[in-house]
Structure 1
Amino acid sequence: MFIASYNPKSIGDVLVVVLRPDTIQQKSEKKGNVVRIFDAESNTTLGYNFFGISTVLADLQGHGEEQLNQEQVDKLNKLLEENDFDPELILDANPKFVVGYVESMKEHPDSDHLHITKVKVDNDQELQIVCGAPNIDEGQKVVVAKVGAMMPNGAMIFPGKLRGVESMGMICSARELELPNAPQKRGILVLPETDAFEVGKEFNFVKGAELFVNKV
Structure 2
Amino acid sequence: MIFAYNKEHVGDVLMVIVSDDKGQENRVERKGNIAQVSVAEDGQVVAWNIFEASTILGDIEGNGQVVLTEKQLTKVNEELAKVGFSETLVEDHEPKIVIGFVKSCKKHPDSDHLSITQTEVDNGEVLQIVCGAPNIKAGQKVVVAKPGAMMPDGMMIWPGVLRGVESFGMICSAGELRLPDAPAKKGILELPFDAVIGEAFPVGK
- Compute the TM-score of the two structures, normalised by the length of structure 1: 0.89
Are the counterparts in 1 of residues 152 and 203 from structure 2 also a CA contact under 8 Å? no
RMSD of the alignment, in Å? 1.5
Shift of 1:81: 1.2
Shift of 1:193: 2.4
> Relative to structure 1, is the Cα distance of residues 68 and 32 closer, same or farther in structure 2, using a 3 angstrom cutoff?
same
> Relative to structure 1, is the Cα distance of residues 125 and 69 closer, same or farther in structure 2, using a 3 angstrom cutoff?
farther
Query: Can you list the C-alpha shifts for 1:154-193, whole angstroms capped at 9, x where unaligned?
Result: 1111111111211111000011111111101210001112
Question: Which runs of structure 2 are paired with 1:135-154 in the superposition (5 Å)?
Answer: 135-154=135-154
Are the counterparts in 1 of residues 178 and 203 from structure 2 also a CA contact under 8 Å? no
Partner of 2:173: 173
Shift of 1:70: 3.6
Shift of 1:205: 4.7
> Relative to structure 1, is the Cα distance of residues 150 and 120 closer, same or farther in structure 2, using a 3 angstrom cutoff?
same
Partner of 1:17: 16
CA distance in 1, matches of 2:6, 2:62: 5
Partner of 1:133: 133
> Relative to structure 1, is the Cα distance of residues 50 and 205 closer, same or farther in structure 2, using a 3 angstrom cutoff?
closer
Residue 68 of structure 1 pairs with residue 68 of structure 2: yes
Are the counterparts in 2 of residues 5 and 16 from structure 1 also a CA contact under 8 Å? yes
State the AA in 2 paired with 1:169.
G
Moved over 4 A (4+): none
Question: Which runs of structure 2 are paired with 1:1-216 in the superposition (5 Å)?
Answer: 2-22=1-21, 23-194=23-194, 197-205=195-203
Are the counterparts in 1 of residues 140 and 193 from structure 2 also a CA contact under 8 Å? no
Gaps in structure 2 of 5+ consecutive residues = none
Give the SS at the match of 2:8. helix
Query: Can you list the C-alpha shifts for 1:16-43, whole angstroms capped at 9, x where unaligned?
Result: 0010112321110111011111000000
Are the counterparts in 2 of residues 70 and 91 from structure 1 also a CA contact under 8 Å? no
CA distance in 1, matches of 2:33, 2:128: 39
Q: After alignment, is 118-127 or 93-102 more displaced?
A: 118-127
State the AA in 1 paired with 2:198.
G
Q: After alignment, is 24-33 or 82-91 more displaced?
A: 82-91
Are the counterparts in 2 of residues 69 and 91 from structure 1 also a CA contact under 8 Å? no
State the AA in 1 paired with 2:40.
A
Gaps in structure 1 of 5+ consecutive residues = 207-216
Give the SS at the match of 1:56. helix
Identity of aligned residues (%): 51
Shift of 1:85: 1.2
Count of residue pairs brought into register by the alignment: 203
> Relative to structure 1, is the Cα distance of residues 191 and 37 closer, same or farther in structure 2, using a 3 angstrom cutoff?
same
CA distance in 2, matches of 1:133, 1:40: 37
